[in-house]
Amino acid sequence: MSEQNNVYEMKSKSPKDLKKYTLAGVIIVFLFLLGALILSNLFIVQQNEYKVVRQFGEVTRVIDQPGLNYKLPFIQSVSTLPKFLLIYDVPPAEINTLDKKRIMVDNYAIWRIENPKLMIENARAVSVVEGRLGDIIYSNIRTELGKLNYDEIINSEKSARGSFNETVRDEVNKLLERENYGIRVVDVRMKRTDLPESNEQSVFNRMISERESTAQLYLSQGDAEANKIKAETDRQVKEMLATANAEAKTIIGEGEQEAARIYNQSYGKDPEFYSMYRTLESYKTTLQGEPVMIIPINSPYAKYLMGSN
């Protein structure tokens, strides 16, 4: 019964109505496809990126302002490049110093894209740019470190590197600008400097030997300074003793002179008493050790000794 109704309905519609429905369906499909096509060719530019529009491989425009944009369907394509700072870790490499020492240098570079069109035309991709950047940085670091001795590089107290990083950065930017890569290096930094494994032990031994030589030099200088201080002290002591002896002799001479003056005054007052006193003083020396003396009985010396008048 339902099939018969459908057949009846189909028969009841005129060819004009069928044509109208078919046209409406085509329009709907077209609008749907058109909307899909438009949406697929719209793109959004973020704050931290460039959008590069290419037509048949050639760059037609670069969009650096955030917002909604479009491209022509089928013939144009869109690629993205970073607008923020990028860090490239340069592979470690061996460098020869001015004094012919070999060291391993590990460094990195901070860079950014300033002209996406030039970068794509001359390098095509970020990986290619970083490869070229590594070669240029290595070449300049090798040149600059080749002007310095090994001790000046690793020893902060003797360092003569000065504005080494700035010099390398400026030289790298000159080459990049000359080759129209459309990028700029913001900073170049050395993370570390190491010795090649084959040289480490020999250099360590040499460093130990140098430290021992330095220690021995300090000890020798200390001994020399100690001897100098001792000699100076001995000289001062001798001078002080000589001065003291001279002053003592002067004082003794003055005392003897004063004693002689007093003796003379005493002798002048009582010569006989003075003669007796001098004789008694001589007894102190003569009678030491209980000597045996043979003297005349009438000798003045015996007279005083015997206590006779």
Average pLDDT over residues 279-291: 69
Answer whether 117's CB lies under 8 Å from 59's CB.
Answer: yes
> Out of 32-36, 206-210, 243-247, 286-290, which region has the weakest mean confidence (pLDDT)?
286-290
Instruction: Please give the pLDDT value at position 7.
Output: 42
Tokens of residue 105, six digits: 């240098």
Name the architecture of domain 85-194.
2-Layer Sandwich (3.30)
Report pTM.
Answer: 0.53
Beta bridge partners of 86: 111
Q: Which of 153, 162, 113, 104 is nearest to 133 (CA)?
A: 113
Q: What is the pLDDT of residues 41-85, one digit of tens each?
A: 888 889 889 999 988 888 888 988 888 888 888 888 888 899 999
Instruction: Please give the pLDDT value at position 257.
Output: 86
The Cα–Cα gap between 128 and 37 comes to: 34
Residue 264 pLDDT > 60, yes or no? yes
Q: What is the pLDDT of residues 86-139, one digit of tens each?
A: 999 988 888 888 888 788 888 899 999 999 999 988 888 888 899 899 999 999
The Cα–Cα gap between 140 and 170 comes to: 10
Q: CA 122 → CA 77, 80, 117, 185, distances in Å? A: 19, 17, 9, 17
Mean pLDDT of the chain: 80
Instruction: Please give the pLDDT value at position 95.
Output: 85
Report residue 69: phi and psi, to 5°. Answer: -135, 175
Percent residues over pLDDT 90 in the chain: 18
Contacts of range 43-47, beta carbons closer than 8 Å, 24 or more positions apart: 43/68, 43/69, 43/70, 43/71, 43/78, 44/68, 44/69, 45/69, 47/83
Answer whether 108's CB lies under 8 Å from 87's CB.
Answer: yes
The Cα–Cα gap between 179 and 191 comes to: 27
The Cα–Cα gap between 248 and 253 comes to: 8
Residue appearing with tokens 């369907």? 73
Alpha helices in 155-270 (DSSP H): 164-178, 197-269
Instruction: Please give the pLDDT value at position 170.
Output: 92
Assign 268 a pLDDT band (cuts: 50, 70, 90): confident
Tokens of residue 116, six digits: 């996406």
